[in-house]
Structure 1
Amino acid sequence: MNVVYVHTHDTGKYIKPYGKQVPTPNLFSFAQEALLFSNAFNGSPTCSPSRASFMTGTYPHQNGMMGLAHRGFKLVDFNWHMASFLQSREYETVLCGVQHEHRFWKPLEQGHEAAKELGYTTHLTADMEGYQDSASLAGWDEENALKVVEYVRNRGKSGKPFFLSYGLFTTHREYPELTEEEAEGVYNPNYIEVAHGTFPDEKSRLDMAQFHKSAHIADACFGKVMEVLKEQDLFNETLIIFSTDHGVANPFMKGSLSDAGIGVPLIIRNPEAPASFGRVSDQLVSHLDVFPTICDCLRLEKPGHLEGHSFIEMFQDPYSKTREAVFAETNFHTSYEPARCIRTSRYKYIKYFDGEWTKYNLSNCDESELKERLIQHGWAEKSKEKEYLFDLYFDPAEGKNLVNDSDYDEPLIMMRRALHHWQKETGDPLLDGKLDYSPSWKVNKRSSLKPSSKNPEDYEQWPQD
């Protein structure tokens, strides 16, 4: 089979297949022809670490991507990357759009070099010149969708099987502005529910309305790719995967080990398992499990570095269980914030490891009016607990910390032990104390408020190259 992986930026589960009234009809139609995973989680709720975990089947502290690729973090072994692995198995490996596992996708020449080093044989990505700001990059996504369509049409069924990764910038901030007509029509903010954990008011509704527009554009791009696969009679010869990196770029979502940060959509169509079409699996799965599952679907021997567990049995039986818990971590987004979590079907346990800084790392939250409002009302003075325990049966919104509740002593001990065991088994360097910094990493101070500050005083390290 061919493999097509379509991924968005900062979308969380805010799409129609997950019950949200967000205009994503193509993804909804696709879900009805695929298997939807309702309890899928990433390896880290920040961009490059999440994507590196997906593409290598390993955790950030193992693969080296503990922070953002364009801030100097680097994979320890490019051969671990899915593109490199499939290229060595005689697949044509194709990248179009965003990859965030090595360097950056701009300027274009750097994007070409990075794609080649990751193992891609073909790089289709359009030049970003002419797209002046983040809000305009929805047009770049559309241009890249047309490049994917052209590639599939010209290729047809000839040659090697292919692995195609199509990465969209949407739904990353800044969102596209609404026209007057849109604001009174399909994206009318008056009738839009704000995201989980966001204070509802006029500004929040407008912000979410703009997210809706961004998601709608991403959905249209996804639809173009599905349409050309069907047109070329490749739809039933291709393993198709849709996901995103982490939660929406709101406070307490992206960058957070809450379910709003680590919970991701995962929808997979395995053409060899029609019994799975239109089904939902509620079992726990991790982004790290996708790589070994692809290997099983393609009947390829799994590489030895993988940490995930194949869930190929779920395509025959969605109730099949492959793991008891998932794990995720943070190290850096822009500033140092080492934390680990374990999530079972009932409990979530989070532990922060930086004893020198107990306040929130505000530069690890993307800029928005939602963030500014919280800062104006004292967010910078608030502190995090060292540990959190949540009973998700009674508190799915993760609002009540049970660490000091004696009724939960037994699950707390169990979760602490399980997390520590996972850290030992995976060689987590946090067990030896504070992480050592590479001089090539760009790192904000923990007290910094803005991730993209131009003031050197806001940085612990700012490599000038």
Structure 2
Amino acid sequence: MHVIYIHTHDSGRVLGPYGYAVSTPNLNALAKDATTFRQAYCVSPTCSPSRCSMLTSLYPHENGMLGLAQRGFTLDYDKHLVPYLNKHGYHSVLCGIQHEAGWYLDHEDGSKALGYQEDITTSPQGYRQEDLVYWDQKNADQAVSYLNQYDKTNPLFLSFGMYATHRRFPDKIDPDIDVNQCKPPYPIPDNSQTRLDYARYLTSAKSADSCVGKIIQALKENDMYDDAIILFTTDHGLANPFSKCTLFDSGIGVSLIMRVPGSTTKGKVVDELVSHIDVFPTLCDLLHLPKPSWLRGISFVENFEDETYAHRDEVYAEVNFHTSYEPIRCIRSKTHKLIRYYDETYLHMNLSNIDESLTKDYFMDHGLQDRLKYKEALYDLVYDPGERNNVVNDEAYAEIKKTLSYKLDQHMKDTNDPLLYGELPVKKEYKVNKKECLQASSKNKDDYVSLGK
């Protein structure tokens, strides 16, 4: 059984199969022939920690990927899915982005560190960031060529990773996209500035969907489609304020669409909670492979026969570093969420953890730097799905708060979370902005706690 892992950057659930007016006909078609998880969540809403947690089935504070790989953070790569599948007879191939080792455009060193047996990625040199969606297209063509000649001697693990929908978005908007008919997703205000920004996202998403279509068509033409597990996902929410790098659902909610041959839930949706950390053990069950001892996740293999099966009652997520230090933990049940901010010395917005954009500019013009975070927040997701009414001190929610607090404390103890012992250290190899810094890419050395190696 082949495994085809297709992934975007920073897309959350803002795609066609999740009800958004996004031009993704190929993803929509895949969803109709696959199982779509409507309540899937990443483990950490920042690129490298999210991907590493899914591909090791360990939380960031366990696997070591506390921040971005290109900023000096690393992990035990022997626990990554790629070497595990290599040991079990798979031929592993990287095409495009990975974000678990080093700089994500440095595909050669990254693929070696992760243990891929082949790297067929085309060169990213010569592209502006705004044009890297064209690099995605080149990589899709390369993957198609590879599938056309693959001899199938060994089962294939293909990771096809896209730059889309990472910022910077394309600055040339697709001609089929009307800026005036765009509506930015919650929690972004609707105005000319944010509509233009969102139109660029939609352009990036449309390009990503085209790449997905090429891969799916090649699998069908080479008689691999019905002998492959196809996994489509993204790392976290959109790169907007109050989304990426936050533990709101707009940050941790992700697309997860899986096509499993023989599944009886193709074309159906699963509304039960699923965490990225559960993907590795689920693949083990689907492939009939032994589970490594370190896996934290819980298999949801039953969902490919019963879309109503609930394999967990809550999911956990965390932030440690993105560009600056911002330690946060949360527990989310089906109906409530508890979020804790562990840096009481700085409850302002960590502005460098918010990607530069027209949308960020709009918020900055309206006092984003003066907004404060709650030390602790409890949200009723039934009556407040937007997570804006903190009921942590409401006596009507006292028992719910007590229960979630106990479970979060227990989770931190069970996983030996270092936050139990105080502030996380900034090692000399980490590149870390000061909390007060406005931009991640600041050229002022005084804006950094550590410049890294």
Is TM more than 0.5 here? Answer: yes
CA distance in 1, matches of 2:243, 2:35: 25
Partner of residue 153, structure 1: 148
Deviations 1:7-38 (A, max 9, x none): 00011111110000100000000000000000
Out of 237, 240, 249, the position equivalent to 1:259 is 249
Name the counterpart of 1:191. 181
Kindly state the Cα deviation for residue 436 of structure 1 after the two structures are TM-superposed: 1.5
Within the candidate set 259, 263, 288, 1:299 is matched to 288
Of the candidates 339, 346, 351, which is equivalent to residue 357 of structure 1? 346
Alignment partners' CA distance in 1, 2:217 and 2:333? 38
User: Once the two structures are superposed, what CA deviation does each residue of 1:37-60 show, in whole Å capped at 9, x if it has no partner?
Assistant: 000000000000000011111110
Query: What letter matches 1:227 in structure 2?
Result: Q
Indicate if the aligned counterparts of 2:102 and 2:109 stay in contact, CA closer than 8 A.
no
Q: Write the deviation string for residues 54-84 of structure 1: whole angstroms up to 9, x where unpaired.
A: 1111110001001000000001x11110001
Helix, strand or coil at the partner of 2:141: helix
Residue pair 1:46, 1:255 contacting (<8 A) in 2 also: yes
| 1:349 to partner: Cα distance | 0.6
Contact 1:187/1:210, CA 8 A, preserved across alignment: no
State the percentage of identical aligned residues.
45
Q: CA deviation at 1:377?
A: 2.1
Q: How far did 1:304 drift?
A: 0.7
Q: TM-score, normalised by structure 1?
A: 0.96
Match of 2:156 in 1: 162
Which of these residues, 202, 206, 228, is aligned with residue 196 of structure 2? Answer: 206
Q: Is the CA contact 2:319–2:329 (under 8 Å) kept in the aligned structure 1?
A: yes
Matched, 1:113 2:113: no
Cα RMSD for the two superposed structures? 1.0
Report how many residues are paired.
453
Q: Secondary structure of 2:55's partner?
A: helix
User: Is contact 1:93-1:164 (8 Å) kept?
Assistant: yes
Give the C-alpha shift of residue 177 in structure 1. 2.0
Pairwise CA distance, 1:114: 2.3
Contact kept in structure 1, 2:426 and 2:450, CA below 8 Å: no
- Counterpart among 122, 125, 131 of residue 118 in structure 2: 122
Q: Which runs of 5+ in 2 are unaligned?
A: none
What residue number does 2:317 align with?
A: 328
* SS of corresponding position for 1:418: helix
How much has 1:389 moved relative to structure 2? Answer: 0.3
Query: Which residue matches 1:231?
Result: 221
Q: Which residue of 2 aligns with 1:433?
A: 422
Q: Which of 131, 139, 143 is 1:136 aligned to? A: 131
Runs of 4+ deviating beyond 6 Å: none
1:201 maps to a residue whose letter is: N
Q: Check the 8 A contact 1:66/1:73 in 2, yes or no.
A: yes
CA apart distance, 1:375: 1.7
**Deviation of the 1:400 alpha carbon:** 0.3
Q: Which amino acid aligns with 1:186?
A: D
Q: Which 5+ residue runs of structure 1 have no aligned equivalent?
A: none
1:62 aligns with 62
For residues 242 and 144 of structure 1, what CA distance do their matches in structure 2 show?
Answer: 16
Distance 2:204 2:359 in 1: 18
CA-CA distance at 1:207 after TM superposition: 1.0
Quick one: distance in 1 between partners of 2:286 and 2:414? 27
State the match for 1:30 in structure 2.
30
Measured against aligned partners, the alpha-carbon deviations of 1:421-452 in whole angstroms (never above 9, x if no partner) come to 00000110000000112110000000001011
Measure, in 1, the Cα distance between the counterparts of 2:189 and 2:416.
Answer: 40
Q: Map Cα deviations across residues 294-351 of structure 1 (whole Å, 9 max, x no partner).
A: 0000000000111000000010001011000000000000000000000000001100
